[in-house]
């Protein structure tokens, strides 16, 4: 067990040590300073700008940034729908996987477009190689780059000056793809190939097992897909079992590589903020608050999984390896527990174990990680989500001391606070409303007609507390742009495909629009130099205030629902 804990500590420290210089590099990319990759990518980027007719030197205001962001996403949605609904007859489909139904294509296209990857299909049988590469892996890159470009706009707006123009969205977007995501994903893909992950266009392979059975094993261009799915905090599995599959994640070393990969950019973006604004102390303050929150979720999960199921212990059975249901022996209970929180905190959503088999308290921590949705977070959007809590923390602090709230030399007034409050309320509203509708339909055994071939109870394999947790998890994962799930839920039907698709859309773009709007409004205001009375936002005191705001909002919003699900299930284990 000590070795397993050492492995977890090594993964975290490796991520941190890589993230600091990487964050400095990201800041240099967004400020337009020279980097080592300029000779390689300058000609490529100029070609894209010339081909598209985009002038990357033209600066945009915050509204123009959002119009550009939303516009390209509309195009991606329709292109993805077209591929998904016609993949059955398109090329690069050696296994003959069929085209998707309209409702499943709707959910899948939106899910990958918004960096969530809530897969209501199984990778091997649900999509073709063409779809994996052109329809989905492409979205792995651009959806992550959209979040990072939005974060770069926020960085620009937070600078100490008055400005209406905040850089060029297309410039930030393309550089995120070429200078950041592409080079690192190539390195990760090479490591995966060396360790046995397939990278081929051949179809299923026939093998004979040790038991003498002849079976077919799916292959494909998996290494490239898996590299960017983690680096871009996407999470969609090339295979149905995701990173619990031995070809997606062959050994403990690849488990460490994939773990570091998915945490690298969320860590690095925090330090990039410090380098970009020349406020390293602020970056470390934000990182400290996020890390305290991350550990508060991770430690109980590791303890719960390594101690095993108390109901089994009451039977006199010793669980030396912890709760191993739904886990891979090559990773162990502790590393699987660590992954489960990292992937939900960061909003990657990939899994190396089945979350549905986690202990109830672990499930509660996974849910809380997504409900809070502000500790590290996904590529770029983690900072955007945390920014909302900073604005609320500044406002509350200003009320407490009787001063007009200020953040980085700009007065935070009623308009900015109203936007922040709406964004903070939206997240629990989407989660709890969706869960309430699904729970009502299930409790009343509603006949779903075309929405579901049968009654609502048919989508639950686990009634009672755990069944409620499964429905709560599905909407929480959708609203947090996460994509993981309690897979005991039968979710590939029109009800779940359409309802979660709507939640995915709203929960992706409104929380991006809100922070960018606030930042743009603040950037246009007159800069006020710091004085003795200025609220210091890079101190431990303000960090504690921000953490308290996050904790109070999460507790008031979600603890009643958690009490009906995982907490209630936990206490049944001690009967």
DSSP sequence for 391-418: HHHHHHHHHHHTS--EETTEE--HHHHH
Is 368 domain-assigned? no
d(CA 352, CA 248): 9
Q: Quick one: pLDDT at residue 554?
A: 86
Q: Kindly report each contact of residues 407-410 with a partner whose C-beta sits within 8 Å and lies 24 or more positions away, as own/partner.
A: 407/522, 407/535, 407/537, 408/158, 408/160, 408/277, 408/522, 408/537, 409/160, 409/527, 409/528, 409/529, 409/530, 409/534, 410/522, 410/523, 410/525, 410/527, 410/528
Q: Is residue 366 part of a domain?
A: no
Count of Cβ atoms closer than 10 Å to residue 6 Cβ = 11
What is residue 256's three-state secondary structure?
helix
From residue 84, alpha-carbon distances to 101, 202, 568 in Å are 8, 20, 40
Distance CA 494, CA 441 (A): 14
In a domain, 515, yes or no: yes
Cα(108)–Cα(120) distance, integer angstroms: 7
Burial of 395 (0-12, 13-18, 19+ CB in 10 A): buried
Q: Is residue 134 part of a domain?
A: no
In a domain? residue 243: no
Cα 76 to chain centroid distance, Å, stands at 19
What Rg, from alpha-carbon coordinates, does the chain have?
A: 23
Kindly give the pairing relationship between strand 406-407 and strand 205-208.
unpaired
Within a 10 A sphere around the Cβ of 121, how many other Cβ atoms?
Answer: 18
What string of pLDDT tens digits covers the 575 residues of the chain? 567 899 999 999 999 999 999 999 999 999 999 999 999 999 999 999 999 899 998 999 999 999 999 999 999 999 999 999 999 999 999 999 999 999 999 999 999 999 999 999 998 889 999 999 998 999 999 999 999 999 999 999 998 778 889 999 999 999 999 999 999 999 999 999 999 999 999 988 888 888 888 888 899 999 999 999 999 999 889 999 999 999 999 999 999 999 999 999 999 999 999 999 999 999 999 999 999 999 999 999 999 999 988 888 777 777 778 899 999 999 999 999 999 999 999 989 999 999 999 999 999 999 999 999 999 999 989 999 999 999 999 999 888 877 778 888 889 999 999 999 999 999 999 999 999 999 999 888 877 776 777 778 888 888 889 999 999 999 999 999 999 999 889 899 999 999 999 999 999 999 999 999 999 999 999 888 877 667 788 889 899 999 999 999 888 899 999 999 999 999 998 86
Task: To the nearest 10°, report the CA torsion of 26, 243, 350, 85.
Answer: 100
* Crossing angle for the helix pair 2-31 and 332-345, to the nearest 10 degrees: 30
- Residues 219/206, Cβ–Cβ less than 8 Å: no
pTM: 0.95
Domain extent, residue 409, equals 383-572
How many domains in the chain?
1
Cβ neighbours, 10 Å, residue 219: 22
Q: Is 43 exposed, middle or buried (0-12, 13-18, 19+ CB in 10 A)?
A: exposed
Which SS3 state, helix, strand or coil, does residue 406 take? strand
The answer to whether position 60 is within a domain reads no
CA distance 267 to 284: 11
Is 141 a domain residue?
Answer: no
> What Cα–Cα distance (Å) separates residue 461 from each residue in 442, 452, 486, 488, 568?
12, 15, 11, 6, 18
Q: Which two tokens stand for residue 141?
A: 């890159």
- pLDDT confidence of residue 444: 85
- Residue 156 within any structural domain of the chain: no
């Amino acid at each position: 067990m000590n070795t397993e804990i050492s492995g977890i500590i090594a993964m975290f420290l490796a991520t941190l040590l890589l993230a600091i210089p990487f964050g400095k590099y990201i800041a240099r990319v967004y400020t337009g300073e020279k980097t080592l990759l300029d000779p390689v990518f300058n000609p490529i980027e100029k070609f894209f700008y010339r081909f598209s007719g985009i002038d990357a030197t033209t600066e945009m205001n915050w509204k123009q940034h959002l119009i550009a962001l939303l516009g390209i996403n509309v195009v991606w949605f329709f292109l993805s729908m077209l591929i998904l609904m016609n993949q059955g007859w398109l090329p690069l489909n050696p296994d003959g996987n069929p085209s998707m139904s309209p409702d499943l294509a709707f959910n899948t296209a939106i899910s990958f477009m918004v960096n969530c990857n809530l897969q209501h299909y199984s990778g091997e049988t649900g999509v073709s190689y063409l779809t994996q590469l052109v329809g989905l892996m492409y979205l792995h890159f651009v959806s992550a780059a959209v979040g990072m470009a939005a974060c770069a706009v926020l960085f620009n707006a937070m600078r100490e000056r008055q400005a209406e123009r905040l850089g060029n969205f297309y410039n930030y977007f393309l550089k995120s793809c070429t200078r950041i995501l592409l080079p690192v994903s190539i390195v990760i893909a090479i490591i995966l190939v060396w360790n046995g992950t397939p990278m081929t266009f051949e179809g299923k392979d026939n093998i004979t097992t040790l038991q003498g059975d002849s079976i077919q094993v799916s292959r494909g261009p998996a290494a490239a897909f898996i590299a960017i799915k983690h680096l871009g905090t996407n999470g969609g599995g090339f295979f149905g079992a995701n990173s619990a599959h031995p070809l997606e994640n062959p050994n403990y070393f690849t488990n460490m590589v994939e773990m570091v990969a998915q945490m690298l950019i969320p860590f690095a973006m925090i330090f990039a903020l410090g380098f970009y604004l020349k406020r390293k102390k602020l970056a470390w303050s934000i990182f400290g608050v996020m890390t305290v929150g991350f550990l508060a979720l991770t430690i109980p999960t590791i303890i719960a999984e390594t101690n095993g199921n108390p109901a089994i212990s009451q039977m006199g059975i010793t669980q030396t390896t912890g709760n191993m249901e739904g886990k891979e022996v090559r990773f162990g209970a502790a590393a699987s527990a660590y992954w489960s929180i990292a992937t939900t905190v960061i909003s990657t959503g990939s899994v190396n174990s089945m979350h549905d088999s986690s202990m109830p308290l672990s499930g509660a921590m996974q849910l809380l990680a997504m409900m809070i949705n502000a500790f590290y977070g996904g590529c770029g959007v983690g900072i955007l989500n945390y920014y909302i809590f900073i604005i609320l923390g500044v406002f509350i602090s200003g009320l407490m001391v009787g001063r007009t709230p200020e953040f980085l030399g700009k007065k935070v007034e009623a308009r900015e606070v109203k936007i922040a409050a709406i964004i903070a309320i939206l997240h629990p509203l989407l989660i709890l409303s969706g869960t309430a509708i699904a729970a009502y339909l299930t409790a009343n055994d509603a006949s779903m007609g075309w929405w579901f071939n049968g009654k609502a109870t048919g989508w639950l394999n686990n009634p009672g507390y755990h069944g409620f947790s499964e429905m709560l998890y599905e909407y929480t994962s959708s609203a947090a742009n996460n994509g993981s799930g309690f897979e005991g839920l039968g979710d590939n039907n029109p009800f779940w495909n359409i309802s979660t698709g709507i939640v995915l859309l709203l929960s992706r773009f409104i929380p991006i629009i809100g922070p960018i709007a606030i930042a743009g409004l603040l950037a246009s205001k007159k800069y006020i130099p710091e004085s003795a009375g200025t609220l210091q936002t890079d101190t431990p005191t303000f960090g504690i205030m921000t953490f308290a705001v996050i904790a109070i909002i999460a507790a008031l919003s979600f603890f009643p629902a958690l009490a009906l699900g995982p907490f209630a299930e936990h206490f049944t284990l001690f009967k």
